[in-house]
Amino acid sequence: MRFATGLVLIDAPASALNMLGIDESLPDRNVTRVKTLRRGGRRYPYVAPQAWRYWWRFTLKEYFKWNLSPLFREQKQVFTAANPLRYPDDDVFGYMRAFKKGGINVTVTRVSPLKNTPLISVLPDRSSLTVDEGYASRHEGDPVPYSQEFYSTVFKGAFSLDLEAVGRFTLVSKAGFKNLLTWDDVLRDKKGNPKKGTEEIVKEIKEMERLAEELGVQKSEKEWIMPSEVRKRRATETVLALRLLTGGAKQTQYHTDVTPKFVLLLNVDAGINPFISDIVFEESGEVKLDAEALALRLNDLRDIIPEGAKLYIGYDRGFIRSLGWDVEEIKSAVENIGVSVSTGSVKSSIEEFVKEIEAYYG
């Protein structure tokens, strides 16, 4: 069991990356709000987790030429092809196709090996949010007033990629673990032949078996495993895509670079993320990092940090300077508890971290 975990910080100096839409509760209905959540007595802007995942998928398609799974609509559901052999995003991001077709249950689901939090503003709304009052005047007649929220903040997000689950598909009859249809799902007549109406299921199963044969999938009664090279490529490209992350709303008016400006990366042998805590926090309107808190947390988790694994700290020099952080201080605090640390640019740190992932697959 090995998980590639990380924390990312995205600088959003004047941005509106994920909008809630028009606030219908207001009389003039012309205020477009950003998404916020409440914690304690404060509200914090955030980017929804599905928006981050959409950016991530799009980046994999654009820069790593991933052939993304197409979308289908049946009844009131929208779902992907649910074909993790052909489509790497079905493998890494998971899927749920849950309905009956012609009275036959064609439900398959897959727990996503890639998990991520929302991107949540480190600064509360009172320290980050403002409203732009504008007028639409490119028409005849009186200008039309409108208002739009935007923020200046740093977003914090965390992710965990289950390396063992990438390219490994279970056939267990349990929600999230019945990844593929099998011949047991096909209804048969008295002669043992597939019943009329099962043609599409039969076609899907045959197609999956043909792909498995072509790709060299190792099959057993309860699971199918893709070749190590395929699993390695999908896992490493997923992490490498972070440094090229592309997306976000309102880019025409609030152009924002959403690539991480600071990352913490670490492989762990457990399904937890050591960075989900207030290591990065707000104090008097400033974004702080508690190096001692990070060191103490990693010290508590020493038994699940693999031998030879390093904490990778990747940073943009200008970003760090603007926050007044000292990376050497962070490094020193962590090394004092016996965990090796590698520092460098975001690009070099991600690329070095990926080498540990490659080594895991052999």
CB 183 within 8 A of CB 205: yes
Q: What's the pLDDT tens digit per position in 106-159?
A: 899 999 999 999 999 999 999 999 998 877 777 777 777 778 999 999 999 999
Residue 249's DSSP bridge partners are none
pLDDT band at 254 (very low <50, low <70, confident <90, very high): very high
**In whole angstroms, what is the distance from residue 328 CA to residue 133 CA?**
43
What is the DSSP code (8-state) at residue 188? B
**In whole angstroms, what is the distance from residue 257 CA to residue 17 CA?**
10
> What's the rounded mean pLDDT across residues 227-242?
98
Q: What's the pLDDT tens digit per position in 46-75?
A: 999 999 999 999 999 999 999 999 998 877
CB 159 within 8 A of CB 114: yes
Residue 233: predicted pLDDT: 98
**In whole angstroms, what is the distance from residue 239 CA to residue 161 CA?**
8
> What's the rounded mean pLDDT across residues 187-210?
89
Structural domain boundaries in the chain: 1-25+151-163+228-361
Give which of 47, 19, 18 is closest to 31, Cα–Cα. Answer: 19
> What's the rounded mean pLDDT across residues 33-51?
96
User: What are the DSSP calls for 261-319, one per residue?
Assistant: SEEEEEEESSS--TT-STTEEEETTEEEE-HHHHHHHHHHTGGGSPTT--EEEEE-HHH
Residue 153: predicted pLDDT: 98
Residue 270: predicted pLDDT: 93
Residue 255: predicted pLDDT: 96
